[in-house]
A and B are shown apart, each in its own frame.
Chain A
């Protein structure tokens, strides 16, 4: 099963490598990992997407909690949550056909064109992982110059929140 785990970490040097090291040392999967400081500069929030059986996920959350730098953790997939990922894609846009195609798909996926240059567009799409994947599939492969995905981040719905 795919799980999205959010962790509040002390914003200390090396905290990220402790998490990454834990995953390699114990042979856990990481699909994606994003991290950035929160409104409180002493805390970073990390979101990681991993896959494993229930017992593996249980171990992952316990091992993460055991890290001395980990303040709090939630497995978002255990309840209602919102998941978003940002995609930036550079596509060829050197003729009308290509430009129209890019515009049409961006509209369907409720994305935006955020840069226009002579021969290319940069597109921006946000959404759940499946939506991002569907968008990438929808674009004619020969038009794609570059794909950048941030990996998922997420937040609980309603009363669910992860705070100190």
Chain B
């Protein structure tokens, strides 16, 4: 008979740390304060879990998020009650919208003071309820370990997401037997993993009957580690594949079957193919409004198959013909087998005609931009970044902020591996780029990590330059400096008669001096001819953070574009482009 293992009696704070160790947590991203001092004291007394001190709690959540996106493991955040907790909310909401597994441990005022408007008290469970997968307030030290176990379980299974565990200070001081559960059994939470066999068979038949098929995949394929399965499935069929902003990298963008990103700033060929397709296979995607445009005009002729782990994603925005709930890797494997078992092949003739049509759309070269300009074109910077970081190998990690630069990075950097393109797609959080890059670099110390940013976004979390210095994070920051909140300016130019209301970035700092003052290297580049050289020099500095301030063409806009409320087939192409094609 097994002897019961001797259980130790530990303080709540020690239980927190021991639970993190039991979960194999490498890094905690945090910032101390009154209600978490016992936990910080317990951190101090051990060396298994490393703490990364950020300079703002928003960055703690983004850094943990970047770590999670780059590794697939949950990111862990530790913040104090009140302002520490509220500062992290933007980061939590960012992770929630992109289904990123995080466990956020927040301090809370002692149980005896809860509800008294105590110093630094805020109802954090209440504040975060709409932007977490789940949250807990621990009111009994005996439940602490089991609650943390549940938090990790919920964050990482099913459709992942952030989970908050709010721990009152007195609980962290009280003693209890530490007994970390090996498994969790929750009658109220049992995500479905296996797709329904009947639905899979029906889907296989529909897929084979298609004359104009399109595969549309999203972030779910990245989160569900299903790139290989997606690639095999797509190759087997020979069908065109398009991806969402969040899906990029889970199918190699350099492959002929890849027809580019879809949606508002997707390629012409991807959006046209969507509009005209007769069978759409959506995999781990959620029919976001930035993808569908006007839903009434979305894929008007298509029968739609939707594979997703989250039943609530199905038929939320667009009515689905064949839903398959399950984990994308399993379902894709079964679907691939089901297609093979029919012993039928896709309609070769129809497929050839379909590809011919797609190649005609592709021949428009919708991502064309003026290569003869005296000004640095942002698209050119990204193309060079791809070359300098050996984009074809797919090894570099690229994070981004939010705005035009994000769209250019998505359009011009051809991602060939999953978990390499790290950006805030759902919430669109400016300030995400640098702190998320910190998490990525910590997860992959030897890897090339670049952050593509804009001068406005960068200023939202630039205090993290200090964290980067303290922890020697040699991130390469590429700032596409157009002296505007470019994306805002673009909308004002197009839809508000060029009234550039408060979108000019006045009083910019000298970024070179700024980063130098933190002990990093800065470079300013204002001529196209210097772009590549500067970049090569920067990426050679393996152990330094280098900030490249590219002074780019202020007037450049992101094309192609589907204006809000328009259909997929109503794309605006670059004006340059239109002149050229006349």
Q: Which residues does A use to contact B, with CB under 8 Å?
A: 9-10, 13-14, 17-18, 21, 25, 55, 58-59, 62-63, 65-66, 68-71, 164
Per CB-CB distance, the 5 closest pairs between chain A and chain B, nearest first, are: A62-B312, A68-B134, A71-B188, A66-B312, A68-B189
Contacts of A66 in B (CB 8 A): 310-312
- A164 touching B187, Cβ below 8 Å: yes
Please name the residue on chain A nearest to B158 by beta carbon: A66
Are A65 and B311 in contact, CB atoms less than 8 angstroms apart?
yes
Q: Which of A55, A71, A164 contacts B319 (CB 8 A)?
A: A55
Question: Is B311 in contact with A62, judged by CB distance below 8 angstroms?
Answer: yes
Within 8 A of A (CB), among B105-138: 125-126, 129-130, 133-135, 137
A9 to B186, CA, bound (A): 12
In contact, B129 and A55 (Cβ under 8 angstroms): no
Is B280 part of the binding interface, using a Cβ–Cβ cutoff of 8 Å?
no
Would you give the shortest CB distance from B164 to chain A, in whole angstroms? 12
A contact residues around B126 at 8 Å (CB): 17
The reply to whether A71 and B187 contact each other, CB–CB distance below 8 Å, is: yes
Question: What 1/0 mask marks residues of chain B from 178 to 211 whose CB sits below 8 Å from any chain A CB?
Answer: 0000000011110000000000000000000000
Given known contacts A17-B126, A164-B187, is B312 in contact with A68 (CB within 8 Å)?
Answer: no
> Which residues of the partner chain B approach A17 to less than 8 Å between Cβ atoms?
126, 129
- Least Cβ–Cβ distance between A162 and chain B, in angstroms: 14
Q: Which residues of chain B (491-543) have a CB below 8 Å from chain A? A: none
Nearest opposing residue in chain A for B132, CB measure: A68
CA of A27 to CA of B191 in the docked complex: distance in angstroms? 25
For the complex, give the distance between the alpha carbons of A71 and B153 in Å: 17
Within the assembled complex, what's the spacing in Å between the Cα atoms of A62 and B309? 13
Chain A residues in 8 Å Cβ range of B135:
14
Given contacts A68-B188, A68-B189, contact A63 B137 (CB under 8 A): no
B231 in contact (CB, < 8 A): no
Beyond the given A13-B137, A59-B312, A71-B188, please list 4 additional residue pairs across the A-B interface where CB-CB is below 8 A: A13-B139, A21-B129, A21-B130, A63-B312
Chain B residues 413-464 with CB under 8 Å of chain A are none
B74 → chain A, closest Cβ, in Å?
16
Chain A residues, CB < 8 A from B139: 13
Residues of B within 8 A of A62 (CB): 311-312, 314
Q: Does B316 contact A (CB under 8 A)?
A: yes
Which of B125, B154, B186, B316 makes the CB contact (< 8 A) with A59?
B316
Q: Is the CB of B133 within 8 A of A68?
A: yes
**A-B contact list, 10 entries, CB within 8 Å:** A9-B188, A17-B126, A17-B129, A18-B129, A59-B312, A62-B311, A68-B134, A68-B154, A68-B189, A70-B188
Q: How far is the CB of B561 from chain A (nearest CB, A)?
A: 29
Contact B188 A14 (CB under 8 A): no
| Chain B 450-483 per-residue mask, 1 if CB under 8 angstroms from chain A, else 0 | 0000000000000000000000000000000000
Which single member of A10, A21, A58, A59 contacts B188 (CB below 8 Å)? A10
Q: How far is the CA of A163 from the CA of B310 in the complex (A)?
A: 23
A139–B135 Cα distance when bound, in Å, is 47
Once the chains are docked, how many angstroms separate the CA of A162 from the CA of B320? Answer: 28
Bound-state Cα–Cα, A69 to B523, Å: 53
User: How many angstroms between the C-alpha atoms of A164 and B311 in the bound complex?
Assistant: 21
Question: Which of A59, A62, A65, A68 has the most chain B CB atoms closer than 10 A to its own CB?
Answer: A68
Q: State the Cβ distance, B200 to closest chain A Cβ, in Å.
A: 20
A131 and B270 alpha carbons, distance in the complex (Å): 57
Q: A55-B315, A62-B311, A66-B311 are in contact. Are A14 and B125 (CB under 8 A)?
A: yes
Tell which of A10, A13, A14, A17 has the most Cβ of chain B within 10 Å. Answer: A14
Cβ contacts under 8 Å, A58 to chain B: 315
Q: Are B310's CB and A14's CB within 8 A?
A: no
* Contact pattern, B 127-164, Cβ under 8 Å of A = 1, otherwise 0: 00110011101010000000000000010000000000
Cα–Cα, bound, A23→B312 (Å): 14
A residues near B134, Cβ cutoff 8 Å: 68
Once the chains bind, are A14 and B137 in contact (CB under 8 Å)? Answer: yes
Closest A residue to B310 by beta carbon equals: A66
Residues of B within 8 Å of A164, CB to CB, are 187
Residues of A within 8 A of B137 (CB): 13-14
CA distance in complex: A18, B129 (Å): 7
- Give the nearest-CB partner of A55 in chain B: B315
